[in-house]
Structure 1
Amino acid sequence: MNSEILQKLARYCAYQERCVQELEQKMKTFEVSPTEYAEYLNWLRENNYLNEARFVEIFVRSKFNQKSWGRTKINYELRKRGISASLLASAWDGIDDADYIEKARILLKKKRDEIKTGTSPQRYQKCYNFGLSKGYESSLVRELLKPLFA
């Protein structure tokens, strides 16, 4: 193992939580051979630079709190990053269901208030599509939009 590459990878992980897929991409830029990937990854895990459970927890919390993403979008992004099914199952333990619903309700109400043109069904459809694009479940979006357009 090259100590210079190891130091760069450690700094890369220390700056922000990373997943294995991101580290593999970074190692490709350093022209590390695929046979050495495991050695570097094991060292980073042993020295607590790489912890996918911690990555998932922070990713879910930050995307939910800062970007107001829903479960569907966050789970999709995590699967895209190669996160295991067992970690996906526990990803939402830190987010309360009541907070999740309230965040979606506030987001949809704000969107409804922003839309000034169109008929009521058109505005409903725009809000519905917005809720889906943020990653909220269609049944939840419909349920939350009913009182807003009653």
Structure 2
Amino acid sequence: MAATQGLKELASKGVAVSLHPYAYDPNADAVGLAAAAALGLDPALTLKTLMVEVDGKPACCVIPSDQQLSMKRVAAAFGGKQAAMMAVPKAEKLTGYRVGGISPFGQKRKVPVALEISVSAAAKVWINAGQRGLLLGVAPQTALAVLEAQAADLIA
């Protein structure tokens, strides 16, 4: 297992996480759901990291793998008028990660982050650790603090 930039960032801040490797399926329709199924985790607490643009500016949304973003709510959460998914090449260049392995932690460029508010009271959530086939377990309040993120209503 590689020490990803995300894991290095968490370690540098003294945050202990649990690691959960799984067999990544590049052909899965929904990577987050496939990861949850492979690890026997609740899809509502297995989160996916989505890179978006709000009024042309990059941002990061972390939501349950069994949900979809509401672009209207994303725009509102980041104080903008319009939101759209970021193109894959741009997301990979900006984050330093490959799609399917994008983590909100340790991205090459720091961008505003929002975590779906419905998971903020959970004891633990699972988020990509920065490589395909590897999730990390962390308390959502810890993730919010490390990412300097906001909890927001992001899902449709």
| TM-score, normalisation: structure 2 | 0.21
Ranked by relative contact order (alpha carbons within 8 Å, sequence separation 6 or more), the top structure is 2
Q: TM-score, normalised by structure 1?
A: 0.22
Structure with greater helix share of residues: 1
Which has the higher Rg, Structure 1 or Structure 2? 1
